[in-house]
Amino acid sequence: MLTLDHLAVSATSLAEGTEWVENALGVALAPGGVHALMSTHNRLLGLGDIYLEVITIDPTAPKPPHPRWFDLDNFSGKPRLTNWIVASDDLEASLASMPQGIGAPVDLARGDLRWRMAIPATGRLPCGDTHPALIQWLGAAHPAQRLPDMGVRLDLLEIATPDADALTAALKATLTDSRVRITQGHQKAMRATFTTPHGPRVLE
């Protein structure tokens, strides 16, 4: 089975992405870290059982010899919600039942956090980059447990895609989360609605 793990907001700089999320939700983001394999870095926000990350290219790191995750090499424009990530307790088994192109498992670590993630060779995920990325956490440590509770919770994640039928079919047997809604759309669009200390807020 799969469970919703976290949401990714992409931006051209970490400062810009952080400011955008903090202004939209009215709360401060926590420090994150760097991902040496991908030459990216992030900031984080706890959402109870899941979390949100602002992720961008790290301008101080060398360009990797492979495409970065979340298609960040081709990102431009204003910060926006671009990807969602689901967790599996058996990454190989989950990949066996998923469309091709989700990626090959890669072992990753930061501090005492250990995880495996399926990373697509092209940087883009199936279904027009609307399929969730797959992650498997190793051990009990998880970012959501360590982040300060700012009183923000995800109410609804809406994913619009021309490949809605294919995406729904790929996930219907393994992901059951009432917060996730997949709809038909002319192009990729993601929208997340949150409960915050300041009332309902939206990222898209």
Contact 124, 118 (CB under 8 A): no
d(CA 78, CA 67): 21
Please report whether residue 77 resides in a domain: yes
Report the number of distinct structural domains present in the chain: 1
d(CA 79, CA 101): 25
The CATH number of whichever domain residue 142 belongs to comes to: 3.10.180.10
Per-residue pLDDT in tens (0 to 9) along the chain, 204 residues: 999 999 999 999 999 999 999 999 999 999 999 999 999 999 999 999 999 999 999 999 999 999 999 999 999 999 999 999 999 999 999 999 898 899 999 999 988 899 999 999 999 999 999 999 999 999 999 999 999 999 999 999 999 999 999 999 999 999 999 999 999 999 999 999 999 999 999 999
d(CA 89, CA 87): 7
d(CA 81, CA 102): 19
pTM over 0.85: yes
What's the alpha-carbon Rg for the chain, to the nearest Å? 16
> Can you give the residue range of the structural domain that contains 66?
2-149
Per the DSSP assignment, residues forming a β-bridge with 184 are 161
Please report whether residue 192 resides in a domain: no
Please report whether residue 35 resides in a domain: yes
